[in-house]
Amino acid sequence: MTEFPPAGFVPTPSAIPGIEVYMPAPVEATAQPEVAEFKCPQCQATTAYSVSDGGLRCSHCGYYEPPPKSIVGKGAEEFEFTVATMEVAAARGWGEARKEIACQNCSARTTLPAGELTHTCPFCGSNRVVQQDAPQDNLRPRFLIPFQITDAVCTQYVRAWLGSSWMTPKSLRDLASMARFSAIYVPFWTLDALTEADWKAEVGHQKTESYRDSKGNRHTRTVTVWRWESGHAQRVFDDLLVSGTTRLSNVLLKRLKDYRTAQLTPYDPKYLAGLMAQAYDVPLQAAWAAGREEMRAQTRETCRGQASTSQIRNFSMSLNFQDESWRYILAPLYVSTYKYEDATYQVMVNGQTGTVAGQRPVDWPKVWLAIAAMVAPGVLLGLLGLLLLVGVPPAGPIVLIVALVALVAGGAFAVGTYGKAKEMGDV
Amino acid sequence: MSDSTVPQESNPPAPSAWGVALESVRCPHCDWRYFAPPDKADIRCPHCFQADLTPLGEAAAQLPYRLPPEQWLPFAVDAATLNLSVETFAGGIPYAPRDLNGDALRARVQPLYLPLWLVDGNVTAEWSAEVGFNYQVVSHRERYADGGGWRTEEIHKDQVRWESRVGRLERHYDNVVAPALEDHPALERALGTYPLTNVRPYAANALSDALVRLPDRAPSAAWPDATPNFQAAAAEECRQAAQSDHIQKFRWSPKYTQTNWTLLLLPVYASYYLDDESAPQPVLINGLTGKITGARRASMQRAQRAALITAIVAVVLFALGLLLGILGIAAPPLLVFGILLAIVAFGGGAVGALLPIVRASRFNRKQEVEGR
């Protein structure tokens, strides 16, 4: 060793005299003020994160500060479910306490609602990011996905989305009056795990056999033969996203989970300046329970998929989770409402990918007409078949069979259409 | 004793420094060298038992080390354990040599001490390592059954978090061991390791009537074997210093000063039995644990003798069978007995005569394989 101690090592207590111990210097947690304020160094006006520029921008003098940190993507540090972390997370989450903050610009005092990470002073418009103490450092948001589409682009996406379904009123796209989009960082937990499962089930195999009836006539029939099968399945889950908030529609958030974690960036309050951000209110344990439920359901489907047929009974499996880890991240989301014929509808846009989810009014007469059209062929053919049974007996049964098939197919389409229409209004 | 920065050979004084009268002797057959009490200076070599010990005379001055030991391990194996070891060793051998029995082995037991180097030294070094800290993670095991739903079991798994550490060390280490005999590794494999928890400072009355084998490795030759033990001791201390649970990839650049070489005596019982050719076969017993080692061989002579007796009996019976056969010409019922007896004698004789030789050979071959 030439240089001692090597660069980046600091002394640490030694339990034995005569032995010096040095450890790698802990990563400097940049001393963050509890409340970070953003002011232009040139004109002292308020700066905010500009999605289009990808950095801090002063709206007054045009000063620009580029984004502070580079993308780490899937290499972003993950944390294990250590006993210590779980105990702390169970004891108290982060962002529970309400904060009263004083604006350093105009001295106005504002009470910040629980779970809000950012604040814009309603009196002077200055932007602040609250960096509350977390009981454990890794329970702070350590990574985020920056906004990548602007609210103007969002409006275009939503307009296109409003006109994309035949079930909505024709005038929706043109007459909907859009409210302004609010950019908000929402909390997500990313979960990783490897699942290994052993399964066992009775699997049914169809077999055609012939038999003779009591009069000695030969017939064939299909019987199910059940055989035991077993197998082993393994699944890797990488960055399964579980929402960390209960304050936004979970139904809509689930449709927007196509976030690409390859764009993860180390957390910096500058990304939040002038935008809204929420801390998690779904604790780690609850998120992990939800994540596990999804993982085991998918693993179960993988196991069932290994069976030689889809006819399965007495299915059982044992499943082990391994290499479980998690991250707490913030993901970009645009939230807005629009009005149509005096009703207000909620809409959200993934701030990274532009995926849109929301409520849409359903043109029910149109939907019912479509459902009627789907069922009509079967009904009409059925009636025709009945008439033919009387008039042209040999053709009647054939038409009736065709009618039955058409009715079943039409009914299935009708149910699907109805479900889709109902889903449009769900939040 | 020698104090120096580099291990040095000692300048041996007379064995009287041991506090008891001892003579330097050697075995002309196996060249093991001993300090022996004067009344045992001409006994048979307790290693090979092939020749009587002879005085070294002036050659004793050329021995690499003759200083009295710093520590010794007293014999601790009790009579019951010793008996059990000996009986177990002598038992279970098909056609064992007549001389291989518990009584003979016990009667010939000779106490003996084997030397082991103890090195003291000051070490200064810079070191680096990965230290591991235990922690637990929460995981889950789940079971599913149709109709029963999911059953979840929370489990805790042990994990080790590895972190790098560097440091400096300035420590004194006492009694780091190094082999003092060229055949120490082989002896250790045969006799097992000696737990060093009960070592005692050497006293003149420690030896009693035991012989002490003299080192045949000088400290300078043993030094390369001592340094890994210094490193192991340092690694363990660095682990404790870093307050960690594990240590791996320990590297250091040591500088040794004030090294001091002494001996530790390890107790062993030596005995022997005579094989087929009346050649002594040595047997060694760990004086602490009772673990016994030596060549266990079936006597091929005894096996051959048993085979011969079986064959003779078979031939006699076969001949008797033939005789009955001849008599059967006059008295037909005897013909049947005669044929049966001849067949049994032929088959039984062939198998019975081969069996002792096969058993003894197989046992000896197995012992040879295990002894390698």
Clarify whether residues A275 and A204 are in a common domain.
yes
Side chain identity at A323, as an amino acid letter? D
For the record, the structure tokens of B117 come out as 């180097």
**Token match 């120096």: residue?**
B4
Q: Which two tokens stand for residue B337?
A: 């007995």
Burial grade of A319 (CB within 10 A; 0-12, 13-18, 19 or more) = buried
**pLDDT value at residue A152:** 87
Identity of the amino acid at B186: A
| 3-state helix/strand/coil string of B307-352 | HHHHHHHHHHHHHHHHHHHHHHCCCHHHHHHHHHHHHHHHHHHHHH
Joined tokens for residue B332: 């037909």
Q: What is the C-alpha separation between B229 and B264, in angstroms, rounded?
A: 15
Tell me what pLDDT residue B9 has.
46
The residues pairing with B143 across neighbouring beta strands, listed in sequence order, are A318, B151
- Distance, in angstroms, between B254 CA and closest chain A CA? 12
pLDDT in tens, A44-69: 888 888 888 888 888 889 898 887 76
CB-based contact A94:A139 (threshold 8 Å)? yes
**Residue B286 binned pLDDT confidence (cut-offs 50, 70, 90):** very high
Nearest CA in chain A to B238: A19
Instruction: Tell whether A2 is covered by a domain.
Output: no
Question: Among partner residues A18, A315, A320, which is closest to B170 by beta-carbon distance?
Answer: A18
- What's residue A233's pLDDT? 96
**Matching residue, tokens 């009790």:** B78
Out of B139, B142, B167, the one facing A21 most closely (by C-beta) is B167
- Residue A349 domain-assigned (yes or no): no
Residues of chain B with Cβ-Cβ distance to A84 below 8 Å are: 135
- CA R_g for chain B: 31
Of A1, A83, A316, the CB nearest to B126: A1
Same domain membership, residue A316 and residue A393? no
Task: Report chain B's mean pLDDT, rounded to a whole number.
Answer: 87
- Residue A263 falls inside a structural domain: yes
Residue given tokens 């093991």 in the structure block? B32
**What is the band of B341 on the pLDDT scale with cuts at 50, 70, 90?**
confident
Helix H or strand E segment including B304: helix B300-328
> Is A161 domain-assigned?
no
A324 contact B CB<8A: yes
Nearest Cα neighbor of B277 from B156, B98, B149 is B98
Return the number of CB contacts < 8 Å for A and B: 105
* Pairing verdict, β A182-212 and A276-277: parallel
A332 lies in the same domain as A372: no
Q: Which of chain A's residues have a Cβ under 8 Å away from the Cβ of B165? A: 12, 21-23
Residue A82's contacts (CB-CB under 8 Å, 6 or more residues apart) are B135, B136, B137, B138
Find, among A115, A125, A102, the residue nearest to A35 by Cα: A102
H or E element at residue B365: helix B332-371
Locate all alpha helices (DSSP H) within B172-299, ordered by sequence: 184-191, 219-241
Residues A15 and B241: beta-carbon distance below 8 Å: yes
Which of A19, A81, A84 is opposite residue B237, by nearest beta carbon?
A19
Q: What pLDDT does A138 receive?
A: 59
Interchain contact, B142 vs A318, CB within 8 Å: yes
- Alpha carbon dihedral A221, A224, A227, A229, in 10-degree steps, equals 130
- Average pLDDT value for residue range B10-25: 68
Question: Is A238 found in the same domain as A89?
Answer: yes
- Asked if A83's CB is within 8 angstroms of B156's CB, the reply is yes
Same domain, A221 and A259: yes
CB pair distance less than 8 Å for A18 and B166: no
Of B143, B165, B240, the CB nearest to A16: B240
Window 277-316 of A: residues touching B by CB (8 A cutoff) are 292, 296, 300, 313-316
CB contact under 8 A, B142 and A321: yes
Mutate to test the interface with B, among A20, A200, A295, A326 (most CBs of B within 10 A): A20
Is the CB of A18 less than 8 angstroms away from the CB of B143?
no
How many angstroms separate the CA atoms of B230 and B238, rounded?
Answer: 12
Distance from CA of A320 to the nearest CA of B (A): 5
pLDDT of A246 reads 86
Is residue A313 domain-shared with residue A401, that is, in the same domain? no
Q: Does the structure show a pLDDT above 90 at B125? A: yes
Whether the CA torsion B50, B52, B53, B56 is positive or negative: it is negative
What pLDDT tens digit does each residue of chain A (427 aa) get?
Answer: 468 899 999 999 999 999 999 999 987 665 666 677 788 888 888 888 888 888 888 888 989 888 776 888 888 888 888 888 887 776 544 444 445 556 666 665 555 555 666 666 555 656 666 665 555 555 678 899 999 999 889 888 988 888 888 888 888 877 777 778 888 899 999 999 999 999 999 999 999 999 998 888 999 999 999 999 999 999 999 999 999 988 888 888 888 889 999 999 988 888 888 888 888 888 889 999 999 999 999 999 999 999 999 999 999 999 999 999 999 999 999 988 888 888 888 889 999 999 999 888 888 888 899 998 998 898 888 888 888 877 777 787 888 889 899 989 999 999 999 998 888 876 6
- Three-state SS string over chain A comes to CCCCCCCCEEEECCCCCCEEEEEECCCCCCCCCCEEECECCCCCCEEEEECCCCEEEECCCCCEECCCCCCCHHHCCCEECEHHHHHHHHHCCCCCCCEEEECCCCCCEEEECCCECEEECCCCCCEEEECCCCCCHHHCCCEECCCCCCHHHHHHHHHHHHCCCCCCCCCHHHHCEECCCEEEEEEEEEEEEEEEEEEEEEEEEEEEEEEECCCCCEEEEEEEEEEEEEEEEEEEEEEEEEECCCCCCHHHHHHCCCCCHHHCEECCHHHHCCCEEECCCCCHHHHHHHHHHHHHHHHHHHHHHHCCCCCEEEEEEEEEEEEEEEEEEEEEEEEEEEEECCEEEEEEEECCCCCEEECCCCCHHHHHHHHHHHHHHHHHHHHHHHHHHHHCCCHHHHHHHHHHHHHHHHHHHHHHHHHHHHHHHCC
Q: Which residues are CB-neighbours of B44 under 8 A, at least 6 positions away?
A: B50, B51, B52, B53, B280
- Domain contains A110: yes
Q: Tell me which chain A residues have a C-beta less than 8 angstroms from the C-beta of B168.
A: 4, 19-20
The answer to whether A195 and B141 are in contact (CB under 8 A) is no
Asked if residue A403 and residue A303 are part of one domain, the reply reads no
* CA pair distance A245, A189, nearest whole angstrom: 10
- Given a contact cutoff of 8 angstroms between Cβ atoms, the answer to whether A211 and A369 are in contact is no
The closest of A366, A396, A400, A397 to A380, measured between CA atoms, is A400
Q: Do B242 and A12 touch (CB under 8 A)?
A: yes
- Asked if residues B73 and B199 have their Cβ atoms less than 8 Å apart, the reply is yes
CB contact A18 to B (< 8 Å)? yes
Q: Are residues A123 and A270 in the same domain?
A: yes
Higher-confidence residue: A121 or B61?
B61
A371 shares its domain with A316: no
Residue A55 included in any domain: yes
Give the pLDDT score at B289.
Answer: 92
Q: Are residues A195 and A114 in the same domain?
A: yes
pLDDT at A197: 96
> Radius of gyration over alpha carbons of chain A, in Å?
30
Residues of B in contact with A313 (CB under 8 A): 146
DSSP assigned state of B38: G
What's the rounded mean pLDDT across residues B299-327? 87
Residue of chain B whose Cα is closest to the Cα of A320: B141
Q: Give contacts of A 80-99 with B, CB under 8 A.
A: 80-84, 86
Q: Is the pLDDT of residue B304 over 80?
A: yes
Q: Domain check: are A332 and A384 in the same one?
A: no
Chain A residues touching residue B126 (CB < 8 angstroms): 1, 4
Q: Which of A9, A21, A313 sits opposite B241 (nearest CB)?
A: A21
Total domains present in chain A: 2
* Strand, helix or coil for residue B220: helix
Domain ranges of chain B: 15-135+146-294, 300-371
Shared-domain flag, residues A242 and A303? yes
For residue A328, give how far its alpha carbon lies from the nearest alpha carbon of chain B (Å).
18
Range(s) of the domain holding residue A116: 30-148+184-337
Q: With CB atoms and an 8 Å threshold, state whether A316 touches B145.
A: yes
